[in-house]
Each structure stands twice: as C-alpha cells, then as structure tokens.
Amino acid sequence: MKKLVLIAGGALLVYVLIVLAIAVIPAIELSRVPPGPGVVDLTPVQAEGRRVFAANGCAYCHTQQVRPLAEDKEFGRPSAPGDFAFQTPELLGSERTGPDLSNVGVRKGSDVWQYIHLYQPRALVPQSIMPDFKFLFRVMAKAPAGETAIPVPAPFAPANGVVVPTPEAKALVAYLLSLKQSSIPGYDMKGAAPAAAAPAAPGSSGAPAAVAGAYVFSQAKGQALFTANCAACHQASGEGVPGAFPPLRGNAAVLDADPTLHLRTILEGAHGKSIGGATYGSAMPPFASQLSDPEIADIANHERTSWGNSAKPVTPAEVAAVRAKPAGADQ
C-alpha cells in the first residue's frame, strides 16, 4: 500500500510540475506583457465574435501566429507577445489547413467579402476546402428594415429570397475584421508573396518592361502583389464578383490615360461607388500605409496590362504625386 501511494504521489507531482512549467508559469508571464503599439481591447461585439469563432472550431484550421519565416511573409509580420495582450486564452492554433488570420482584417478588409466567404467559400475561392457556414445566415423573402442582403453570386445564391446575416455572423465578421497587426518599427514584413512564385499573367508576355528611369515593371512581381492584396475580391481573372466587387477588366478608371483615379483608389480605397452602371456597397480598404510607391505602381501596371487591358503604364513618381495630394484634391 505504501508503495502504491508513493507511485501515485510521484505521478501526481510530475503532472503538477509539468502543468506549472508549460501552462501556469507561461500564462502568468504572458499576463504581464504590456499591449503592443496600437493593440486595443475587443469591443463587446468583437468579443462575442471571438466566442463564435472558438465555438465553431475555426482555430482547428486557422492559426493566429505568424512565424519569422519566408513562407509566412504573406500573412504579415512575425507575431509578438504584445499582440495577444487582450486575448486570453490565445487562439494560436497549430494547423494551417487554411491561411493564418493574424492580419486578415487588413488582407481581407471587406465585410461583404467575409460574409460571402462564410456563406459559401467557393463563391470567392474556387479551390477552397473550407466548409460553408450557412447556418449563420437566414434566407428571407426580402431583407428586413435596417438589414442589408448579402450579394451572394448567382450560382451560389438560394433559388428564392435573399441572404441575411444573423447576429452571430455579424459578430464573427466584426471579430475577423478586428484582427489587424499593428506596426512595430524595425519588425515589419510586407504581406506580399515572393515575385518569383507567380506565373505570368493571362494575356501578357510576362517579360519585364522598362517604364521610367531606374524603375522596371515586372509582370511577375505585379501579379504576385495583386494576388496577395487584390485577387480575393477582384479575382485572378480581373472579372470581380457581380454585385459585390467590380471588374478590373475593361474598367474605365483602369484604362484611363490619366491614372489619378486609379491610383487614388488603390491608395485610399473606395466605398459605394457606381462602376459601369452598377453600384457596389462593399468597402475597398486603402493600401497607402501597407504598400510603397513602387509596389502600388506594380499593382496598377499589372491591372492596366492584364486581361486584355492596354493602358499607359505608371511610375512610382506618379504614385508619390497622387499620395502627396490631400483626398479629393483632384475632384
């Protein structure tokens, strides 16, 4: 009996020491870490969305930890302890069945995109293996007063009625849009995919073309930046999503010899614009704080020379000139 007590007591002691070493002590230390620059607590709606996120097992497939590795650059800068000051327990995850979400509020900053993606992921990402979350939405004859129907693309929309998000869906999207990495001086990594990884764009030669001075536009680099920052909404084909995100193929602003409106839209974003006779209520996020002048020029030139578009290329100097003007100065 004494031997049994010693064995059981020893096993319990080892268990307690392990829990202290890998859970309790690290948790105490992390609780003392101050918030990172610009890191703020969740609002009540965002906190409810975090609960919905956890309850539906989203962390099983999506991490929230960017490693200091080249393959993680597309997700943002490496994670820092201060990023998680207000989110305990942390939903770090361990699997990347889907992309990391640490900076998804910047990379996919449109609430309309998030709603459509939750309702039917393959409406926006044909190769997605993510299950749909239609149970977070209601199909109604018409949207109630004060509600806005989600512009689900026709092939994925219900045969009758419109799709309206439930409070749980609204909270979840609010939480996803809150996931934005703040800038840490000297510790930032651009969220663009490596240029070498991208094939030549459809309808283009893929050969570098000198634009002005030392700046050389590479179609491969332009496509990589477009894929990382723009393709989720405007699609790799440049066709957009009818009723949700405007097409870039044949877009008047993209084809205009004066690139001011095109560049200002990339720099400052847009909301509620009428394009080609259709009004788009979804908000396009601004990229001025995320991308440099040459990167903005690369994206613009990719859009101006792909999918049959043939417009005058732009230079980083032109981007800088538009960036320097206050919003609305050229209207």
Please check the confidence at residue 205 and state whether its pLDDT lies above 60: no
pLDDT band at 53 (very low <50, low <70, confident <90, very high): very high
Per-residue pLDDT band for 59 (boundaries 50, 70, 90) equals very high
Assess whether pLDDT exceeds 50 at residue 27.
yes
**The model's pTM:** 0.76
263 band by pLDDT with thresholds 50, 70 and 90:
very high
CA 311 to chain centre: 28
Domain ranges of the chain: 39-83+92-191, 195-324
Q: Higher-confidence residue: 23 or 14?
A: 14
pLDDT at 8: 81
Q: What is the mean pLDDT of residues 138-144?
A: 95
Q: What is the mean pLDDT of residues 93-114?
A: 92
Average confidence (pLDDT) over 196-225: 60
Average pLDDT score over residue span 307-312: 94
For the ranges 55-64, 200-209, 307-316, which has the lowest average pLDDT?
Answer: 200-209
Of residues 272 and 248, the one with the higher pLDDT is 248
Average pLDDT across the chain, whole number? 86
Highest-scoring range by mean pLDDT, 5-9, 105-109, 196-200, 262-266: 262-266
Position with higher pLDDT, 240 vs 188: 240
Q: Is the pLDDT of residue 38 over 50?
A: yes
**How would residue 244 be classed by pLDDT, with cut points 50, 70 and 90?**
confident
**What average pLDDT does range 253-275 have in this prediction?**
90
pLDDT at 187: 66
Split at pLDDT 50, 70, 90, the class of 226 is: very high
Topology alike, domains 39-83+92-191 and 195-324: yes
CATH assignment of 39-83+92-191? 1.10.760.10
Q: What is the CATH number of domain 195-324?
A: 1.10.760.10
